[in-house]
Amino acid sequence: MQQRRELITPIPGPKSLALMQRKSSAVAQGVGTTMPVFAVAAAGGVLKDVDGNTLIDFGSGIAVTSVGNSAPRVVTAVQEQVAAFTHTCFMITPYEGYVAVAEQLNELTPGDHDKKTALFNSGAEAVENAIKIARSHTKKQAVVAFDHAYHGRTNMTMALTAKNMPYKDGFGPFAPEVYRVPVSYPYRDEKNMDGELAARRAIEVIEKQVGAGNLAAVIIEPIQGEGGFIVPADGFLPALVEWCAANDVVFIADEVQTGFARTGKLFACEHEEVVPDIIVTAKGVAGGLPLAAVTGRAEIMDAPHIGGLGGTYGGNPLACAAALAVIETIREDGLVNRAATIGSTMLNRLHLLQADDDRIGDVRGRGAMIAVELVKSGTSEPDPDLTRSTALAAHQQGLIVLTCGTYGNVLRFLPPLVMPEGLLDEGLTILENIFLQSR
């Protein structure tokens, strides 16, 4: 596919608008739309719509197509698998692909201890299972999650998720025995709040309000995703891991958004040499096919009885074939380093922009997971309106960007790691011009 932005109609174009009308009539409105543009093809750094426009993709379908859409090795692997067999159910008659993915995950995830893996379909389903496993292992029930956390839309994961609108409103009651504690949010914490102090603040709440004797697991995104691309202060994650280890509490890293080379390491935990007891992965693992995994210490993973874990489709053979191709692509094409380079380019350009524009309160992130937090000029008061209007202007110019954040004031950038340098620069220039023009 041609790696070039090309707009031949307004965005959205007439065919997209017509399809949006059909969508509105046929699809439940609860399933929202960030950008009313219907896709027909995507590859490398671009996505083509039904009207023939080609857009630059700074979203990767929310950090999923890290190896690029329809990446060549993924296409071949899935085509071979789809012609061989599409499903047997791994719990009925197993197949090698599932085992091979488990072996790879056991090998590649942080820590050199014995590990085991179980596969599922979605990030939320994997998080649910991580909690089941931690409870089974510890024989305890409480779970601690953090302010600004996002873990999914199922009942347990809604309980773990912090933000009410749009994820939880009206959908309760939520799973019990979930407790929320403060995270480290360097931009909004008091200035003296370093990582260790922030960890102590969280641990004090845990000890006072939950009690280690009741606590099965602490779950955290090493960089919070939907909550606003919040990178905790150095030392925060290691201090939590240490406390968990000393208190028979399973430390679960939710790397659904940060995993698989996204942050310039294979896993975001590696930035601080954090070794989680359980790591949850999804999204980037299978290049767009639905796959998720729970990988952890063998003795923890083997706590549930035989038959206690599973699901009809978990570790579907097409998704497993895709995952093996993704892992090969990341390794062979050096995508971990590529993510780090994308990160330096984005951070440099955005810091320059911030120096001239005091509505950009913070520039943060790691690798190809970068965001700007937008505020009212010269304050730290969130500006969700500016965030919305900036994203809309980008969309109209053929640049796919997403927003996030508890206050709806974070513009986030998640380009595929195969984004050509020229398109990365062009996307950043579009953003710079939007900020210049809206001043």
Interface with ligand PLZ (CB under 6 A)? 62, 122-124, 127, 150-153, 221, 225-226, 254, 256-257, 282
Give me the DSSP letters along 158-185.
HHH----TTTTTT--PPPSSEEEE----
Instruction: Write the DSSP symbol of residue 231.
Output: P
124 or 346: CB nearest ligand PLZ:
124
In the complex, minimum distance from the CB of residue 34 to ligand PLZ, in angstroms, rounded to a whole number: 9
By DSSP bridging, strand 142-146 and strand 46-49 are unpaired
64 or 325: CB nearest ligand PLZ:
64
Furthest C-alpha separation in the chain? 62
Give me the DSSP letters along 28-96.
-TTS--SS---EEEEETTEEEETTS-EEEESSHHHHT-TT-TT-HHHHHHHHHHHHH-S---TTTS--H
224 or 390: CB nearest ligand PLZ:
224
Identify the bridge partners of residue 253 per DSSP, sorted by sequence position: 220, 279
Chain residue at closest Cβ approach to ligand PLZ: 123
129 or 138: CB nearest ligand PLZ:
129
In the complex, minimum distance from the CB of residue 4 to ligand PLZ, in angstroms, rounded to a whole number: 29
Residue in this structure with the two tokens 């510890």, named with its chain if needed: 138
Chain-centre distance of CA 131, in angstroms?
Answer: 18
401 or 430: CB nearest ligand PLZ:
401
Nearest residue to 126 (alpha-carbon basis) of 238, 270, 2, 282: 282
Nearest residue to 251 (alpha-carbon basis) of 134, 115, 106, 112: 134
Dihedral in degrees, nearest 10, Cα atoms 123, 124, 125, 128: 120
In the complex, minimum distance from the CB of residue 294 to ligand PLZ, in angstroms, rounded to a whole number: 12
Are 239 and 77 contacting, i.e. CB atoms less than 8 angstroms apart?
no
Within 10 Å of residue 243's Cβ, how many Cβ atoms?
19
32 or 378: CB nearest ligand PLZ:
32
Instruction: Write the DSSP symbol of residue 277.
Output: S
In the complex, minimum distance from the CB of residue 238 to ligand PLZ, in angstroms, rounded to a whole number: 20
End-to-end Cα spacing for the chain = 36
In the complex, minimum distance from the CB of residue 128 to ligand PLZ, in angstroms, rounded to a whole number: 9
**Which strands form 46-49's sheet, in the order they lie side by side?**
39-43, 46-49, 54-57, 399-400
In the complex, minimum distance from the CB of residue 94 to ligand PLZ, in angstroms, rounded to a whole number: 24
Are 436 and 358 contacting, i.e. CB atoms less than 8 angstroms apart?
no
In the complex, minimum distance from the CB of residue 337 to ligand PLZ, in angstroms, rounded to a whole number: 24
Dihedral in degrees, nearest 10, Cα atoms 35, 41, 45, 51: -50
66 or 122: CB nearest ligand PLZ:
122
In the complex, minimum distance from the CB of residue 355 to ligand PLZ, in angstroms, rounded to a whole number: 30
254 or 362: CB nearest ligand PLZ:
254
13 or 227: CB nearest ligand PLZ:
227
157 or 390: CB nearest ligand PLZ:
157
In the complex, minimum distance from the CB of residue 115 to ligand PLZ, in angstroms, rounded to a whole number: 20
Within 10 Å of residue 382's Cβ, how many Cβ atoms?
21
309 or 423: CB nearest ligand PLZ:
309
In the complex, minimum distance from the CB of residue 225 to ligand PLZ, in angstroms, rounded to a whole number: 4
Amino acid at 324: L
Are 364 and 390 contacting, i.e. CB atoms less than 8 angstroms apart?
no
In the complex, minimum distance from the CB of residue 129 to ligand PLZ, in angstroms, rounded to a whole number: 12
